[in-house]
Amino acid sequence: MSITGKCAIITGSNSGIGLGVAEELAKLGANVVLNSFSDRPEDHALAEKIANEHKVRAVYVKADMSKGDECRELISKANDAMGSVDILVNNAGIQHVAPIDEFPAEKWDQIIAINLSSAFHTTAAALPLMRKQGWGRVVNIASAHGLTASPYKSAYVSAKHGIVGMTKTVALETAEEPITANAICPGYVLTPLVEAQIPDTMKQYNMDRDTVIREVLLERQPSKKFATVEQLGGTVAFLCSSAAEQITGTTISVDGGWTAL
């Protein structure tokens, strides 16, 4: 099954993992819908760049993933722009770190809304359109924290465990249809956000770059190497291929062995 001409919506995709996934799917001929909560010229320029480089259609649609109605409108707008909704990659996410008894309630609500509830709303809106097309792929970007936990990340861990559970439910509800639902669980991925943290961490621990990466950032990642956005994009592409037609309701870890410990 080729994904040439399929419409792929990737939430939270104006940078990092989401943008990497969009690039990889566009390379394979998919039309892509980029998304974030901002509406800057550079957001739309990203879509234009992808369209020109890969000879596909690409648009940017602003939608705040903390708001259910905007999540559903994103799917509707994508369908209007592209004529179908075939691939949905739920990637949008935020993080906040604090002990649970000090965790701000508003941060909990925001993380659950963006990291978990948004995927409920987009999936609920996308499935009828996939059924109409007779084919669909839902890929949720969970986390190693969807399978294990760390202290001080109660909301993030809860949301990511929830995404894994929702993925299984969607897979069972679509099991007899040509639609699959799977979750990818990355460990640490080298994104611009992570890259920006390295200099401050070097100062904090009085370590060089390589030591900070190995001993601090990748302490729990046995490979001692970051996953890349290209690898995440390639994993999404595999789940959209004919080889993955019978893969549904599962998690694929891209974590350098983290969850094998």
Check whether residue 28 and residue 149 sit in a common domain: yes
Domain of residue 169, CATH code: 3.40.50.720
The pLDDT tens digits for 133-188 are 999 999 999 999 999 999 999 999 999 999 999 999 999 999 999 999 999 999 99
pLDDT the model gives residue 193: 83
**Does residue 66 form part of some domain?**
yes
* DSSP-H helix ranges across the chain: 16-27, 41-54, 68-82, 105-112, 118-133, 154-173, 192-205, 209-212, 229-239
Residues 104 and 202 occupy one common structural domain: no
Portion of the chain with pLDDT greater than 90, in percent: 97
pLDDT tens digits along 69-85: 999 999 999 999 999 99
54 and 116 in a common domain: yes
Domain total for the chain?
2
For residue 2, is it within any domain? no
According to the model, what pLDDT value does residue 249 have?
A: 98
Do 177 and 253 belong together in one domain?
A: yes
State whether 137 and 200 are in the same domain: no
Structure confidence at residue 211 (pLDDT): 97
On whether both 12 and 110 belong to a single domain, the answer is yes
Which tokens sit at 112? 């659950």
137 plus 238 within the same structural domain: yes
Rounded percentage of the chain residues whose pLDDT exceeds 70: 100
Q: Does one domain contain both 204 and 180?
A: no
Q: Which of 43-47, 151-155, 180-184, 193-197 has the lowest mean pLDDT?
A: 193-197
Domain holding 196, by residue range, is: 190-225
In a domain, 215, yes or no: yes
51 in a domain, yes or no?
yes
pTM of this prediction exceeds 0.85: yes
User: Using alpha carbons only, what angle is made at residue 187 by residues 172 and 164, rounded to the nearest 5 degrees?
Assistant: 15
Would you please indicate which residues are annotated as catalytic (active-site) residues?
156
Mean pLDDT of 16-24: 98
251 inside domain: yes
The arrangement of strands across the sheet holding 87-90 comes to 58-62, 31-36, 7-10, 87-90, 136-141, 179-186, 251-254
Same domain, 184 and 204: no
pLDDT at 1 over 70: no
Render pLDDT for 223-255 as a digit per residue (tens, 0 to 9): 999 999 999 999 999 999 999 999 999 999 999
Q: In terms of domains, do 242 and 208 share one?
A: no
**Which residue, 62, 65, 59, 53, is CA-closest to 24?**
53
Look at residue 236 and tell me if it is in a domain: yes
Residue 1 domain flag: no
95 and 140 part of one domain: yes
Q: Are residues 78 and 141 in the same domain?
A: yes
Nearest residue to 71 via CA among 122, 109, 115: 122
Question: Given this model, what pLDDT does residue 192 score?
Answer: 87
Q: How far apart are CA 197 and CA 232, in angstroms?
A: 21
Average pLDDT estimate for 204-231: 96
Would you say residue 30 lies in a domain?
Answer: yes
